[in-house]
Every structure is written in C-alpha cells, then in structure tokens.
A and B are shown apart, each in its own frame.
Chain A
C-alpha cells in the first residue's frame, strides 16, 4: 500500500512539474516555487539525519579504536564550526570566517591541487600506444598539447589550426553523440519513474 502511495505521489508531481514547465502563468511559477520550497524542507530534515549518522558512526568507531585521530578531527570540525558561528556569527572578521579562510579553504585547495598529479599519472598510462586506438589518442593528445604551448606555433603555423579543427569537428561530434545518448537516457529514465515502470528507487524488487 505504501508503495502505491509513493508511486501515485511520484506520478502526480511528475505530471504537474512537466505541465508547469510549459506554462508562463504566475500560477505555474507559484506551483514550481512551492514544490522547490518543500524540497528544501525535506533536504533540511535529511541533513539532520545525515549529521546524526556521521556523529554516531564516528563515536562508535572511536570506541572500537578504529582510526581514532581522523575521527576526532571530524567530530571536532562538526562541533566547533557551528558553535563558533552561533556565538560570533559568520560575517567577515569573525572566528568562523577566519577558520573557513585559513583551515577549510586551504585544505580544499590542497585536495584540488592533487588533480594535477593525477592527470599526469593517468595520462602516462592512457597514452601508451598499445593498440591502434591508443596510438590515435596519443597522437591527438600530442598535437593538442603542442598547440597549447608556444612550441606548437613556432614549429608550424598549421599545428594550432589543426588542433582547433580536431577540437571543433571530430572531438565535438563524438561529444555531441554521447550527449544525445545521455539526453535520451535521461528522458526515458524520467518517464519510467513517473509512469511507475521503474520502481527500484523505492527499494526492493521492481
């Protein structure tokens, strides 16, 4: 019974959201806005559930002496940041902003910076000419790399032009083909969910 109710709600809201998209009336905008506001309420409640889950899991693991240091740092972050924000606020020149700018932002930048090294290691593996396709990839990547550096223009004027052609035609056409597939896949998945053909998201058998 609860499954049928969920499917009915999904169908009704799916159809309403589909119809309102094509309307320019203020009523349709209000409907859209109201549903998005309800979505925020649902999100807020699940956020509480998520945070409680994080705290509970970390406390349990600390009791089991499992990665204690990392878990204490996690719990300290969860507790200290909201407390500091509640006491001094979140405007400029507050302890919250100081911690955000001097602890959180540099840590995020550090993780992002890892990407440069990972791109290098992934490229090294991917550009090994083990097959015809891999050789085409290697040659294409070399031309693009050359065109992006000063050396490409110095060696031959045609290199940047050819690289531009590769990006605009073969690469773009392949990308658009994948995008069309993704778009069609998204449409059919949405239709399956709205029409109740796809029920896995409710859990269990279809």
Chain B
C-alpha cells in the first residue's frame, strides 16, 4: 500500500517546486524583457549602421565553427599545392649551401595588430625552424619595435623546438627605424652588403616593396614575397621568384603545419567564398531586374 501522507507530501513539494520555478522563470523573463526594453530604448547601446557588419561577422564565425566542428567529426581534406610555400625549404637550403644568410622582413606598412603580420609570423616560425636545423643565419630587420620583440620570441622558440637554441642570435632580429624610406634604405643596405641567398618579403608592404625586391633581384637572391596590398602584389609578381597572392599568405600557417584545426578554418574561407559568390549572383540579378523596370526588388543588397 502506498503511503498516502508521503505521496501527498511529495505532490505538495513537487507543486511548490514548480511554483518556485515558475515564479523564478517569470521573474527572469521580466528581467530579460526589461533589459531588452532598455536596450531597445537606448539605441546608443547598438550602432544600427553596423548591423550588416554584425550579420556578416556572425555568419563568418558560424562557418568557421562549423568547419572546425566538422573536422572534429572526422572529415579530412587536403589543400592544393602553393608553389611559394613549397619553395620555402628549398630557399633556406640554397642559403645554407651558399653559406649566406636568409633575410626575412615584414615590410613597413603593418603593425603587430594586423592579421597580415600575424600570418607572416607563422611563416617566420617555420623558416626559423629550418635555419636552426641547417645552421644558417636568419636576419630579420623591422620598422616596429613590437614586431621585433614578438619576432625574437617566435624565432627563439622555433630554435629551441628544433633543439638548437644555442644557434639563436637575438642581434640578427633588429629594429632599424620607423621611417619608411629610412627602413627601405637600411634593408637595402643589408641586402647589398650581406648578400643573402634567400629573401622573404612577407607582410604589409607599401612603396618600399619594389625598392627591396629589385635590390634582392640585383644580387641574384631567390625571393618569396606575399602581401595584402593589391598594388604592391603586382610589383612582387614582376620582381620575385614566388609570390603568395591574397589569401595564400593567410593559409600558410595551415599549409606548413598541416594542423587540422587551422586547415579547417582555411576550408571555412572557401565556404565563405561560395556564400559571397551566391550573394553576388543573386544581388546582380536583383539589381538588373530592378534597373530594367521589370520588377522592383528594392536595394536590400546595397549595404
């Protein structure tokens, strides 16, 4: 026989619990509603002009998260060969055989906050590991003292990981000047005097790009370049042996390390490209139909 007293006690407890949960839920709901009303009333909390950017950012984050999670569920993929990145080891090997140093510079245009500089650091880590293994000098002049400090740390760790920390020379990673053409003159002078066998011009470059690339070309160095400036890319394509065009510099980290999570984020770039391409086609059709007067689809695509 069930104990009626205990049963009724349990029901009361359960009802009390539901009442408490219900009241608590209603309270939290009211709080959230009030918060939403406050935020809605105060437009300053959110800049509506930046809504399209927020939507695009959320989509981008979602796609990267999707690609990384999909990789964790076992989906493998490979990256196409990038000639400039495949040539990195050969370039360091060439310098070793010629008993000359490797010169690596990130350009004058960027600071450490720029994604291009971070991408350049990833390649630097790989190049430094190779110079450590091959016992080849690595010279790294820069215009920014923060980049210098980070580069020293990246190179030191790469040498330590390779097991040759005693080969690391912190004096080779130097700040030269913050002046654009002072920097160009200093690096040009190094190239002319030291005559590196291999030169890496990877980062954000401005007008100094061709000055450096042509000087490197004049001494017969093998040159691998990459930047996010479309104007300077044309100079590099003409003057350098290999050029990383656009996104290739950002994909370098995944390509060189074969780290699956990084490769997954590179794949996310391709998914985003497809999304943008679809958007462009739809927007073009909508704009064309609107312009011809057949149907009025508005200007929703114009943000």
CB-defined contacts of A63 to chain B, threshold 8 Å: none
Check if B247 sits within 8 Å of A185, measured CB to CB.
Answer: yes
Residue in contact with B174 in the complex, picked from A47, A54, A123, A198, CB distance below 8 Å: A54
Across-interface contacts of A125 in B (CB, < 8 A): 238-239
Q: Do A24 and B43 touch across chains, with their CB atoms under 8 A apart?
A: yes
Which of A70, A119, A184 is close to B273, meaning CB atoms less than 8 Å apart? A184
In the assembled complex, which residues on chain B have CB atoms less than 8 Å from the CB atom of A203?
A: 125, 153-154, 156-158
* A122 interface neighbour in B68, B171, B180, B214, Cβ under 8 Å: B214
A186-B250, A198-B253 given as contacts; is B193 within 8 A of A112 (CB)?
A: no
- A111 CA to B118 CA, complexed, in Å: 28
In the bound assembly, the distance between CA atoms of A19 and B132 in angstroms comes to 41
Query: Which A21-49 residues sit within 8 Å CB-CB of chain B?
Result: 21-26, 39, 42-43, 46-47, 49
On whether the beta carbons of A49 and B230 are closer than 8 Å, the reply is no
Task: Please classify how large the interface on chain A is, using the bins under 10, 10 to 19, 20 to 34, 35 or more.
Answer: 35 or more
Q: Given the complex of chains A and B, what is the CA–CA distance between A122 and B212 in angstroms?
A: 12
Instruction: Kindly state the separation between the CA atoms of A196 and B46 in the bound complex, as whole angstroms.
Output: 27
* Contact of B284 with A by CB under 8 A: no
Give the CA-CA distance A125 to B238 in the complex, in Å: 7
Interchain Cβ contacts within 8 Å, total number: 194
**Category for how many chain B residues contact A:** 35 or more
The CA of A3 and the CA of B42, in the complex, are separated in Å by 40
Residue of B118, B246, B253, B257 near A182 (CB, 8 A) is B246
Q: What residues make up the interface of B, taking CB atoms closer than 8 Å to A?
A: 42-47, 50, 53-54, 57, 60-61, 64, 68, 113, 115-116, 118-119, 121-122, 125, 145-146, 148-150, 153-154, 156-158, 160-161, 170-171, 174-176, 179-182, 184-185, 188-189, 193, 207, 210-211, 213-214, 217, 228, 230, 233, 235, 237-239, 245-247, 249-251, 253, 257, 259, 261-262, 265-266, 268-269, 272-273, 276
Residues of chain A at the chain B interface (Cβ within 8 Å): 18, 21-26, 39, 42-43, 46-47, 49-51, 53-54, 56-57, 60, 67, 70, 104, 107-109, 111-112, 114-115, 118-119, 121-123, 125-126, 175, 178-182, 184-193, 197-198, 200-206
